[in-house]
A and B are shown apart, each in its own frame.
Chain A
Amino acid sequence: MKKLMLGNEAFARGLYEAGCRVVSSYPGTPSTEITEEVAKYDEVYAEWAPNEKVAMETALGASIAGARSFCGMKHVGLNVAADPLYTAAYTGVNGGMVIAVADDQGMHSSQNEQDSRHHAIASKVPMLEPSDSGECKEFVRTAFELSEQFDAPFIVRMSTRVAHSQSIVDIEDRQELELKPYEKNPQKFVMMPAYAKGRHVFVEERTKKLIEFAETTSLNRVEISDKAEFGVITNGAAYQYVKEALGDKASVLKLGMVNPLPVKLIQDFAAKYEKVYVIEELDGIIEEHCRNIGVNNVQGKEIFGYIGELPQSVIAEKLLGEKKDCICLDENIPMRPPVMCPGCPHRGLFYCLSKNKITVSGDIGCYTLGAVAPLFAVDTTICMGASISGLHGFNKARGSETEHKTVAVIGDSTFMHSGMTGLVNIAYNNSNSTVIILDNSITGMTGHQQNPTTGKNLKGDPAAAVNLEELCRAIGIKRVRVVDPYHLAETEKAIKEELAADEASVIISRRPCALLKYVKHNPPVKVTTDKCVGCKMCMKLGCPAISMRDGKAVIDHTQCVGCGICQEQCKVGAIN
């Protein structure tokens, strides 16, 4: 049966069809839907882990136990999971193990634009890269077979365009597999120096075999055009752009296996043409490989650069000098940046921080939007968990000068991911830091995933819930309090008191995400135009439902969810 599927959905189908039994992941755009979709198959055990390191170790444990296993993450998540990855390369697998890493060329939803192929090369873990949904499914099935054949975990590299584009997939049945027997084998699975030395020899031998395999596998494909004026070597999403832009003007070597790369296949292809272009998004990994193997008639990064996506227009313009005409209006079109939703519980909290000119060490989540106009509340955003540890360092550097006017903000899911170790550091190494946990009872940014604080698991079934207050106290923080960010005065008072205190404190700003289905909304509020004095106090909240018309505030009833913070903010009682 043919079906239109997102790349991530097709990936999940591939896991199901390949007989995968155990899945453990941490959400991250653009990888999240793989795990959400595979969780819909009852034959597969699937879970959200607190972070990517835990997820990968869980998947490796399942593989050692004899099951086909999977873990999925975004590119920066692989940094968190790098520790188990580099040693899983040595242990290899028992049941096949597949890792998805989703890169975000163009940074649609990420804090950097790293190229995860570097991790595959550095860890010596083989990596496949599909170009559409059909290949997502096929490559996952192949990756499991190869994982068992070569005794290696396999990474399947995704990108935003492949993960979030739907294309046609042929659905097949699931392959039911028995668990492989588990046998104690310390030489393979206990990675202490004496045994790891032996495994390193194995890894190097394996890589040689994988290079031989890369020369002939159908994962790598040559498409010869009789009319070709030049050759192109490409991979992943870029393959689609190459075909669209160049059609039969180029012969193409499409590399579906991006680590390790073939040698002879590339040499033979490049020898056919005077000019060969390497068209790969982000870093010049294939191009450098070409030069390393003596293929010098290639050009790539000097033409295409290292930044962002390489869609068809870029290729057509750079290689063919073609540019499409388009119609433009003469005037400036205002930008429409993402904003916190109407009723977002983070808004009231950030308003209080902004109003009191507090320095804010930020983190990764919807609340990163607190950095933009009109709140401009956030000073730093680095990576998951860095708000808390960064604040500790900031305060250690500047001491009492900043302790009373600097806070960290971090979401509930991010706190569980890697924030709590930073809080342990604050307690253990004694900095007078104030940490605000934005507990909206869900992982918001990635589209509502459960986490260890929500009381539900990935399948929506009841689960143990971490009690944040007790956890913070157990870590050694004595001052722990909870506020409702819909109440501005109460929230502001708590922030001021905890900043004034002479010891570390945690404020839990608690209110479920306004987009959660179970959250009941109040009726929209309205402005009584006669009473409105046009002072714009309500506008300072940065609520997208409020705007000014003819000097008076108006509230869009289709957007307003009646959170009421503008009502509290209005000093003349014009909002009801």
Chain B
Amino acid sequence: METKSVMIVGVGGQGSLLASRLLGNVLLAQGYDVKVSEVHGMSQRGGSVVTYVKYGDKVYSPVIEKGEADAVISFELLEAARCLPYLKKGGHLITSTQQIDPMPVITGAAEYPTEIVDKIKAKGADIIAVDALSLAEQAGTAKASNVVLMGVLASRMDYPEELWQKALEQCVPPKFLELNKKAFELGKAAK
């Protein structure tokens, strides 16, 4: 199989590392060659965070570049807009509708763009926008938005349910497992 690329983006602290590891484990269990690339350190301090998941028969480069992503999963709306150029033609963009002002907006040096979802649609990209934050709060904590979005992704990928459940058990500490399973289900059921 030709290599597929999934980009997971968000703001430092939103849990994109967990999401990418979850997906990586599902794909490994599915028998693919897998690479997951993360950025640590400076980028985590509230800055844009990008992780790459690539899978196929044989994966070489761990990074995804512009025009290469089959799917982009974004935890924040502005980051979805920022990463739109990475989407391949015909690729899918799944985003949370959560908005977090970056420092230039907070200081008044820039404005947060309006109607991002519509503007992305107008460019002909396939975008699925989900209020992941509310669903996560419904599951028990705002912190589980990442797992909600993985649920949304799972509903659009054809992998056995038990692989996702097993990956959740591998990646999430036992005391948060039930909560995260609920968040995952809410994501799967989201339109």
Contacts and interface: CB of A to CB of B under 8 A. Distances in A.
Contacts of A366: 45
A109 B142 CA distance: 28
Given A29-B40, A326-B86, A329-B120, A334 B34 contact: no
A157 interface: no
Contacts of B81: 329, 333
A402 interface: no
Contact of B124 (A243, A327, A331, A542): A327
Of B65, B79, B100, most buried by chain A (CB within 10 Å of CB) is B65
Contacts of A132: 35, 62
Interface in B48-86: 48, 59-63, 65-68, 78-79, 81-82, 84-86
B174 interface: no
Contact of A328 (B62, B84, B106, B111): B84
Nearest to B34: A4
Nearest to A242: B60
B89 interface: yes
A546 B100 CA distance: 10
Interface string A316-346: 0000000011111111111111111100000
A337 B41 contact: no
Contacts of A330: 119
A324 B47 contact: no
Interface in B91-107: 100-107
Contacts of A165: 35-38, 62
Contacts of B110: 332, 334-335
A446 interface: yes
B1 interface: no
Contacts of A244: 60-61
Contacts of B63: 161, 241, 309, 311-312
Contacts of B43: 108-109, 338
B131 to A, nearest CB: 14
B36 A445 contact: no
Interface in A271-330: 309, 311-313, 324-330
Contacts of A447: 40-41, 44
A369 interface: yes
B106 A324 contact: no
Given A311-B65, A329-B120, A558-B142, A166 B36 contact: yes
A328 B34 CA distance: 28
Contacts of A556: 100
B169 interface: no
B107 A539 contact: yes
Given A165-B38, A341-B46, A544-B46, A334 B84 contact: no
Of A311, A333, A366, most buried by chain B (CB within 10 Å of CB) is A333
Contacts of B66: 313, 324, 326
B40 A539 contact: no
B163 interface: no
Interface residues of A, number: 61
B34 A166 contact: yes
Given A328-B85, A336-B78, A338-B12, A164 B103 contact: no
B44 A338 contact: yes
Nearest to A549: B101
B180 interface: no
B78 A327 contact: no
A513 B170 CA distance: 28
A465 interface: no
A164 B67 contact: no
A160 B107 CA distance: 32
B11 interface: yes
A166 B105 contact: no
A243 B38 CA distance: 21
Contacts of A334: 78, 102, 104-105, 109-113
Interface in A149-169: 160-161, 164-168
Of A161, A240, A547, A548, most buried by chain B (CB within 10 Å of CB) is A547
B60 A243 contact: yes
A30 B41 contact: yes
A32 B62 CA distance: 20
A336 B79 contact: yes
B42 A108 contact: yes
15 contacts: A4-B21, A6-B38, A29-B42, A30-B40, A244-B60, A326-B66, A328-B84, A329-B119, A334-B78, A336-B78, A336-B79, A338-B42, A542-B103, A544-B46, A548-B108
Q: Which 6 A-B pairs give the minimum distances between C-beta atoms?
A: A324-B67, A109-B41, A338-B47, A29-B41, A334-B110, A336-B102
Interface of B: 11-13, 21, 24-25, 28, 33-48, 59-63, 65-68, 78-79, 81-82, 84-87, 89, 100-113, 116, 119-120, 123-125, 133, 142
